[in-house]
């Protein structure tokens, strides 16, 4: 029976990893399509930034809604709904003819972008605290791999499909394909993924067949929000997602316009860098689990190392002369390795201090705070690019914009992680005591 449950847990992770891979491909390939989409609608960097900010704003507003629904109702069914929405909104983006319509439809794709808290909450009920960093690292490495797959679709497949699928432009054809995959995944999740009792994988309930039902209560959310570690997590999240969105939506334009790369040079430069980025998720999660077994501060220490190293190597990379592409590649590879260290550890940290019945809501609130800032990142970078074009010239404007946003945000995150080092141990002990008390009550009732 145990082997059967273990096999099904692996099956669920495979389904979720496939969902996240395809979803991230659809979400992130827009960055690789900056030039053809901008040419189609005749837009500048600021208008391009608004397209990406629109989806982020919609996702931000809906995070609390999704989080609440996930804690109240069946998480797997809601995730299937989100996958269907992903497919439908992407299809709409492929057929509109004007910039305002594309801005509206692409913004609507943010509806499903805020659906991950339920997925992570469900995973936390399959795997205990000592394994979650690795599991989240595996799931989150789908983001850079999806980014890489999006690059291939945008730079190689889209040109080949130009005019060959219903007479559509290549980038529109790609959106039709990824939209279909979203609808297909909604069917797989709806019929293939089952619920598991909230709190099932907590160590205090090990060996217990019945653990009772932990129901959502607002007072539990309020108690979690009183924990000081959550405030450090919220604040670093607000700053920490700025760099990701700026790099995602502007780095291809930077390579082509300011370093003179063509499509194939971009692909052969970024493909190995993205694979290193993917490895960074797992390395960061595994290192966080390793140190967490030795100290409750382990995940925060790994996160601190990641953000400060990412800031340093990105600064050195973008200041490398165009005549030294090998050095630029090495420095960007080091940036990519350290950038994702904090991602799996932040999710695991939130669940290390949060009761099972409010985890989706708590993480959704954390993402709400994150995206409240991140939604402005593409527009801010676009505005800075226009400003620096006047100050330093058009051939260095994106370089200065990217560095300004990314380095300042990561340095701020490093300082906030230092604050969390002083609070995390007490907040983890508090949750473990709460779980032990519940387990004792369940045993008495049994």
DSSP 328-356: HHHHHHHHHHHGGGHHHHHHHHHHHSS-G
User: Once rounded to an integer, what is the mean pLDDT over residues 322-342?
Assistant: 94
Collapsing DSSP states into helix, strand and coil, what is residue 279?
A: helix
Output the pTM of the full model. Answer: 0.73
**Cα–Cα–Cα angle for 408, 381, 29, nearest 5°?**
110
Q: Is 168 helix (H, G, I), strand (E, B) or coil?
A: coil
**Which token pair is 95?**
């057929």
Per DSSP, 296 falls in state T
Cα–Cα distance between 304 and 416 in angstroms, integer? 9
For residues 91-112, give the mean pLDDT.
90
Mean pLDDT of 38-50: 84
In whole angstroms, give the CA distance from residue 387 to residue 393.
Answer: 9
pLDDT of res. 208: 54
pLDDT at 320: 94
Which of the pair, 345 or 150, is modelled with greater confidence? 345
- Please, which pLDDT band fits residue 213 given cuts at 50, 70 and 90? low
Q: Which of 1-10, 116-125, 366-375 has the lowest mean pLDDT?
A: 1-10
Please give the pLDDT value at position 133: 82
Cα–Cα distance between 170 and 163 in angstroms, integer?
A: 7
Give the pLDDT mean for 82-91.
93
Residue 420, pLDDT > 60, answer: yes
Among 225-239, 262-276, 391-405, the range with the most confident prediction by mean pLDDT is: 225-239
The neighbour count for residue 294, using CB atoms within 10 Å, is: 8
Average pLDDT over residues 38-60: 84
Q: What is the CA radius of gyration of the chain?
A: 22
Nearest Cα neighbor of 327 from 319, 51, 67, 180 is 319
**Residue 78's pLDDT band (boundaries 50, 70, 90)?**
very high
User: If pLDDT is split at 50, 70 and 90, which confidence band does 258 have?
Assistant: confident
pLDDT band at 205; cut points 50, 70, 90 = low
Instruction: Give how far the C-alpha of residue 31 lies from the chain's centroid of Cα atoms, to the nearest Å.
Output: 15
Angle at the Cα of 252 (from 378 to 23), degrees rounded to 5?
A: 70
Share of the chain above pLDDT 90, in %: 32
Name the burial class of residue 210, with classes exposed (0-12), middle (13-18) and buried (19+) by CB atoms within 10 angstroms of its CB: exposed
> Lowest mean pLDDT: which of 11-15, 219-223, 295-299, 320-324?
219-223
CA–CA distance, 285 with 120 (Å, rounded to integer):
14
Question: Distance between CA atoms of 313 and 178, rounded to whole angstroms?
Answer: 34
Least confident of 205-209, 346-350, 416-420: 205-209
Say whether pLDDT at 186 is over 90: yes
* SS3 assignment, position 216: coil
Encoding tokens for residue 312? Answer: 């340093």
What is the pLDDT at residue 210? Answer: 53
**Helices of type H across 259-375:** 263-292, 298-318, 325-338, 342-352, 359-374
pLDDT at 375 over 70: no
Residue 8 is predicted with a pLDDT of 83
Q: Identify the band that residue 372 occupies on the pLDDT scale cut at 50, 70 and 90.
A: confident
- 48: tokens are 């391009």
pLDDT score, position 153:
87
Confidence of residue 209 (pLDDT cuts 50, 70, 90): low
Q: Is the pLDDT of residue 387 over 90?
A: no
- pLDDT confidence bin for 1, thresholds 50/70/90: very low
Least confident of 96-105, 329-338, 354-363: 354-363
Q: Which residue has the tokens 């200041």?
A: 319
What CATH number does the domain located at 2-196+216-445 have?
Answer: 1.20.1250.20
Instruction: Give the H/E segment covering residue 357.
Output: none
DSSP string, 185-202: HHHHHHHH-----TTTT-
Highest mean pLDDT among 25-34, 42-51, 386-395, 417-426: 417-426
Distance CA 248, CA 318 (A): 15
- How far is residue 280 from each of residues 15, 77, 342, 432, measured CA to CA in Å? 22, 31, 10, 29
3-state secondary structure 50-107: HHHHHHHHHHHHHHHHHHHHHHHCCHHHHHHHHHHHHHHHHHHHHHCCCHHHHHHHHH
Which pLDDT belongs to residue 183? 93
Q: Where are the domains positioned within the chain?
A: 2-196+216-445
Distance CA 165, CA 157 (A): 12
The rounded percent of the chain whose pLDDT value lies above 70 is 93
Over the chain, what is the mean pLDDT? 85
């Amino acid at each position: 029976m145990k082997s059967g449950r273990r096999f099904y847990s692996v099956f669920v992770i495979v389904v979720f990893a496939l969902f996240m891979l395809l979803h991230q491909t659809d979400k992130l390939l827009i960055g690789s399509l900056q030039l053809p989409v901008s040419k189609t609608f005749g837009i500048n960097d600021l208008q391009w930034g608004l397209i990406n900010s629109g989806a982020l704003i919609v996702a931000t507003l809906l995070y609390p809604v999704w989080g609440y629904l996930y804690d109240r109702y069946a998480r797997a069914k809601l995730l299937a709904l989100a996958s269907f929405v992903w497919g439908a909104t992407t299809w709409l983006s492929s057929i509109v003819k004007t910039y305002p319509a594309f801005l509206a439809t692409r913004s609507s794709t943010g509806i499903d972008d805020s659906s991950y808290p339920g997925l992570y909450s469900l995973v936390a009920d399959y795997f205990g605290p000592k394994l979650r960093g690795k599991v989240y690292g595996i799931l989150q490495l789908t983001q850079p791999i999806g980014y890489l797959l999006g690059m291939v679709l945008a730079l190689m497949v889209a040109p080949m499909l130009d005019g060959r699928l219903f007479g559509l432009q290549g980038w529109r054809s790609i959106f039709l394909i990824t939209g279909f995959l979203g609808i297909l995944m909604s069917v797989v999740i709806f019929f293939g993924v089952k619920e598991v009792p909230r709190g099932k994988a907590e160590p205090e309930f090990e060996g217990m067949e019945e653990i009772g039902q932990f129901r959502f209560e607002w007072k539990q959310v309020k108690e979690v929000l009183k924990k000081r570690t959550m405030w450090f997590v919220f604040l670093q999240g607000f700053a920490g997602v700025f760099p990701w969105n700026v790099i995602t939506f502007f780095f291809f334009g930077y390579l082509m316009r300011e370093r003179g790369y063509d499509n194939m040079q971009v692909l052969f430069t970024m493909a190995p860098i993205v694979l290193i980025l993917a490895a960074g998720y797992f390395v960061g999660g595994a290192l966080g689990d390793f140190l967490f077994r030795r100290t409750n501060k382990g995940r925060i220490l790994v996160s601190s190392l990641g953000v400060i190293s990412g800031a340093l190597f990105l600064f050195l990379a973008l200041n490398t002369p165009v005549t030294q592409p090998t050095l630029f590649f090495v420095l960007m590879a080091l940036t990519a390795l350290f950038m994702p260290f904090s991602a799996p550890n932040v999710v695991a940290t939130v669940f290390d201090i949060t009761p099972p019945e409010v985890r989706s809501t708590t993480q959704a609130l954390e993402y709400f705070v994150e995206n409240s800032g991140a939604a402005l990142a593409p527009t801010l970078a676009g505005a800075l690019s226009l400003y620096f074009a006047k100050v330093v010239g058009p051939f260095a404007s994106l370089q200065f914009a990217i560095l300004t946003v990314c380095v300042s945000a990561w340095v701020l995150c490093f300082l906030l992680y230092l604050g969390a080092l002083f609070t995390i141990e007490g907040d983890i002990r508090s949750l473990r005591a709460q779980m032990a008390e519940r387990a004792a009550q369940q045993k008495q009732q049994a």
